[in-house]
Structure 1
Amino acid sequence: MSDTNANSVAFVRETMLEEKAPPSTAVGVVGWAKANLFSGAFNTILTLVSLAFVLYILWGLVPWLLSPTWGALSLNECREINGPGHGGACWGVISDRWQQLLFGFYPNGSDGAADLRWRPVLALGLLFVAIAPVLFDKVPRKLFYVTAVYPFMMPWLLWGGSVWLPVMVMFGLVLGYLIIKYGADKIGSLAALIVGVLATVLFWLYGVSPVADAIHSAIPLGLEPVESRKFGGFMLSITIGVVAIMCSLPIGIVLALGRQSDLLIVKALCVGFIEFIRGVPLITLLFVASTLLNIFLPPGTNFDIILRVMIMVTLFAAAYMAEVIRGGLAALPKGQYEGADSLGLDYWQAQRLIIMPQALKISIPGIVSTFIGVFKDTVLVSIIGLLDPLGLSNAIRADADWNGIVWEIYGFIALLFFVVCFSMSRYSMYLERKLKTSH
């Protein structure tokens, strides 16, 4: 027995075994379904019940969606096409009124007038070009010139009028910038800032219109004017939403910093503004913009209703934005502030280079959620008489041809808002992954 053990040699493999593919039931769709949907008796029953419910919904929804009524010109024609039971949707209302839902009563060439709808389409296209270098770092930096000019170009394209009016508004900003830049060495940075802001505001109030009119009389360049009452549809929601989103973020940052300021007056003003705006419903502010604001203005003042709504929606969004950013500032550890002090940075340098970038990164989900909420809240303007998509839907359903249509119009409007809001949420997730906010 001992001789046998002594002469035995243990087997040692000299080559590695070839890798084998995992079982087909453990990978791919089958593996995922087995692990997540059919991992146990309870999950299997729940999956089958949910699948039956989804199939039941699709059984009734798909034929309704695939209704061949795109060419119908009235609800009665839709019913004739769908036959007995009228179980399909009446998509003829979308085919007939989609342009009105998108553009409102913006001039479209009817009644011998010029077709001007290319202007809001161009403004929307330039919007994507203008925000591209802000949202994505691989876009050519030269597009920042479009970004800088777009806030002045968009209202000119939509409302028309003399081209010299937006040019003079830009000149006012340039004037204030030059005073701040070159006056800091002579009168101090704070005094230069105050003088520059005052010069810009005074030029906008008293110099823009006379100078623009004088230049226009010599060099008449401009677009055909369009009244605000012709604005409507999804174009109106986009216009109000974009302006509110673009302006509320910087105002919110200033309010958040003012709320944390050690200056008593600045802090009191910011806290009072934020708490007042957040304590009042948006619809109340819109009523103020629509009716009460003209009472406090000088007699004969023509303050555009859409501009008033933009201001109120922007202030409303800025108050909520300030609280979101303040949460990001409060989440930063005290060591970040101490590190900025150790580098010898002043307050504004520390905020620009160290504090605010980190606070904004932390606040990305809240910022985008506020943006989405503001954009959806633009439908409230229908209550004060502006013809946004919901306001137009009431006018369309009042037509005898489409009286009784509900789900088709609301579904189309919901789809438009979903595309925009879902795009913003997807970009938020992309930005979070890029900046790795969880680390």
Structure 2
Amino acid sequence: MALETSPEQPAPVRQIANAVAGWIDRLGAVWVEGQVAQVSRRPGVSTVFMTLRDGVADLSVTLTCSRTLFDGLNPPLVEGASVVVHAKPSYYPNRGTFSLYAREIRMVGLGELLARLERRRQLLAAEGLFASELKRPLPFLPGVVGLVTAPGSAAERDVLEVARRRWPAVRFRVVHAAMQGQRCAPEVIEAVERLDRDPEVDVVVVARGGGSVEDLLPFSDEGLVRAVHAVRTPVVSAIGHEPDSPLLDLVADWRAATPTDAAKRIVPDVTEERRGVAHARDRARRVLEHFLAREQAGLDALRSRPAMADPRHLLAVRGDEVAALRDRARRTLRHRLDRAADDVEHRRARAESLSPLATLRRGYAVLQTADGTVVTELDQVSVDEPVTVRVADGRVHATPTRLERLESDLTPDRDTDREPEETDG
């Protein structure tokens, strides 16, 4: 039933939204055809969210389904697939959004084709054909570039012109092959293998312009993918434009967005390389000049030192040191000799003062008998018996004629009151 409203009795927004929800709910389940534009699987959520697009009307609507239904599709559902969906329309008044809840999904037309390609991609990836560690580096400056493309194509012209403009000396070995249709995959395989056998070819480029999914289908051929994986020469894939992604892009060593991009990748730009060489040369020159200036400054500093300016200066300084040490040694030796001489003189004087000869020089004498016995007592000498008197400078031979005994303090045991006794001889 239509709502009865007027300027005086307008309906609130929630009433309109609830009415729309009721009308849509009475529509029941419908079959809808469209293209899957986006798939969102949120962790921990049992619902899969998709965007269903109508390419003609440029209209999109949210499509939801259970995870069980989505995972059970064979082949798996991928973005870009065309589908027919049996869904229940729903309208959420609180948010004002329209969506479809899918009860059954069937892939048709191009969507089924994309699904088969996705299944093939998964199988080949599981075998390791797309592993990143298998990618070979492209040569910096290839001697010969192998090019596989259609005869007289825009892709061939773009690759040759851009590459020669960047590096005029580059050489190409072009092998023509069909770039679409049933003959495409076998001819491309044969061309790639022939260029791989050529020892002069350093890199192979497979180039084709853009096209529909059906036109690019041969470049997802399993035989072509395996052939590119088996060759030893690095392969650059330049198929289609940026959005296109055949399986050849995944197995190739380098994926170029366009043929022009491939030409820029396989050869360097001579202008940039010359600029780089000039910059490196200038930098090397500056480094060398800085090094030479630093070494020259160090050499000048060494030469400015007194030892280098006058090499004899060190010898003179050392000579002065040697002379000073020699004089010091002489003074020390002289001082020690003087001290030793004084010590010897002192010891000699002491020895002379203690010598019996010194006593004799003071007027004393030593009386000896004929047999050399020193006379210390009067009883040792007899009258008329020869004796020898030792004086400081010689001996006197005499014969005593009289003996006289003296009493002194040196003989305390004697009687000091006795008069000297004389003995006549």
Q: TM-score range by the shorter chain?
A: under 0.3
- Structure ranking higher on relative contact order (CA contacts 8 Å, 6+ apart): 1
Greater strand content: 2
Q: Which has the larger radius of gyration?
A: 2
Greater helix content: 1
